[in-house]
Structure 1
Amino acid sequence: MKAEQVAGREALATAARIVVKVGSSSLTSVNGGISERALEDLVKVLAERSNRGTEIILVSSGAIAAGLAPLGLARRPKDLATQQSAASVGQGLLMARYTEAFGAHGVTVSQVLLTADDLTRRTQYANAYRAMERLLHLGVLPIVNENDTVATHEIRFGDNDRLAALVAHLVKADAMLLLSDVDALYDGPPSEGSQRVAQIAEPAELEGLRIGSTGSAGTGTGGMVTKVQAASIAAGFGTPALVTSAANAARALAGEDVGTWFSMHGVRRPIRLLWLAHLASTHGSLTLDDGAVRAIRERHKSLLPAGIKTVSGDFEAGDAVELLDLQGKIFARGLVNYDAAELPKMLGRRTKELAADLGSDYLREVVHVDDLVLL
């Protein structure tokens, strides 16, 4: 039975393919290195499920944390170059521990390092998909991490939670399980007697909730904020997700009532649009008149020059830009087909008029509907 045919968290008990993400905080010891006990406990749970025939893809943080002690660093560095150095040292250590731990249960693992380019550019995406499918077909459990050693600020996912959401989309996972050191999403700080939020059926239910950020250990990059973002991304693009603690991993995979379940509320769409909606860096904005906003929102039309009122930012053709209504609210993002310097002379004009005055190259849309996503 496919997980999308099951309404609630029991989907995890029947899922044939699951993406599991574990954060640094769940793997780190009190002295800042990788906790052997924590890693082995997690591996035991995942190996048991894998050995029963479920395809598991593990997205694991911890490379930078594993590299801190060998480099004599007390906390996660803030500058990219030192993060890359720690990742370079720690990734091999982390994989060696996973290989040994999973091997003790008869499970073969592989290392898969990805950057945002690998999941958003068509050629790399196809290659990543084929590689992952082949590994799973061969009975291998892929262990995925962001390629921190070579990724720059502009092509980074920023955290492995969002990477997990894209991987779940890539492999067409039945469900996603996000593990950290917090057992669930709460309607306020747990210290204030708040209540567990058992389920999020739609994005509006997140409004008003006070969601925490990075924990005190300082080894991770996200905290509950990025867990919720990633679960929402996955659910909105067709993959239900559960957010809970690593200690609850076995109960979660059994479909028990733990954590916070994010019900699927969207359908699968091209991963390029997922990237555009949640990960792309925008380089400017276009403010549209009411007619253009309605055409895009309600009739799913492309953006033409006639509907643009103002242009802001310094962007080139192919960059991501935000689309704003007259009240200044961002309602969409898109990949623009013109440089910022070209657009002012085009504002409010029809494409046929522009083509007659400036040439046939100006017949193209400012943002094509296939390169546009509503927020």
Structure 2
Amino acid sequence: MKVANTKKINERIMQVESIRQAFLMLNTTVTNQIASSCIIPGDLDSIKADAIKIRADMDRNNGKNYSVEQITMLLIVESLASQMIPGNTRLIDMYMNLVAPESKIFDVNEFKNNPYIKNIVFHNQKLGDYEFYNQSIAPYELMIYNLPQSNNPFYINIPRIGCFTEEFIYPSIRQTSIKSTWMSVTPNEVCTIQSAIDNAKGNVLTLGCGMGYFAYMASLKKEVESITIVELEQDVINLFEKHILPQFENKNKISIVKADAIEFLKNISDGEYDYCFADIWIGIEDIEPYFSVKEVGRHMRKTKIDYWIEESFASYFLPYVWIELLKAFANNNNIELPLTDVNLSEELRKTIYIHRLMKSVEIRKPEDMDYYMNPKNIIKLINKTKIEF
């Protein structure tokens, strides 16, 4: 990587670095707390009263058009952020100005009318290592509802935070041997899969069965002729075939194959399926399965492949891209930067991958930095190179 030594690039780097680390700490803590535990306010009535006052002030001052419910949720998020860095109102205000536009209040009725949630009935049934059960999201319980938003001046993955104002009950499958939820139909699941449902057409291949949400929603489309599900776990197949598939309106479109998804993909011809949706990972911690499918899918030209939460994988690399950019700027221009001590040695494989990926990149102006700190453009770079993870 080459980074030009210009005044504008220097100023941009210093501007970002001066606040980026504090934002990363704050943002990571807030995101992890919401994702790993139930964040429910203790004194909701008091928070709502404050939200009503803020809403009134917004009306008087022609402020942003946030509802009382959305302000209530944002006050809960702000309280969580304030616990991380008490007294730093400037940083918290900057952070909340990034979080607020991406926040969302969900309508329980909208999800109740989702075709899958409405039509697929789950009872407390068990088969092998898996069992059905219902979970609930309490009113104003914070949740991450979609992929993070990374298009901001500090290159931080801003969480998309949402909540319901009423209790929402949703179906889940638990893996009993590890006493953990294996799959569920949450707003995050619905939102992150929607683009794949929209893109599905013709003869469709889906890698991974889950609860059959994608297969069911895609099967409702007239443009979808057939759906082949590839699943390795026999218990999952049995659960799906016995309790879920019989409830599909268009079950005649569905076939399921017991196989390793990557091996199956290796042995089909390009164009045998019109569309493929890959979803064999639990989250961004499963980056290796993503790249395994990605490498096999490189030869596909006629079959369009979408990868669940692909932008999140790219976002996961952004800190490594930033460090690579800083190192290149310092090395290429023989200068010293007051860099924050970021130890990525335990992630050596990712560091090496990004170094190789960015090797031919040239940064000539601040806009080039913006380009390569965008997850969508990291995906483009991954797609057009032959570098393997």
Which structure has more helix as a fraction of its residues? 2
The structure whose RCO (Cα within 8 Å, separation 6+) is larger is 2
- The two structures have a TM-score, normalised by structure 1, of 0.28
- The two structures have a TM-score, normalised by structure 2, of 0.27
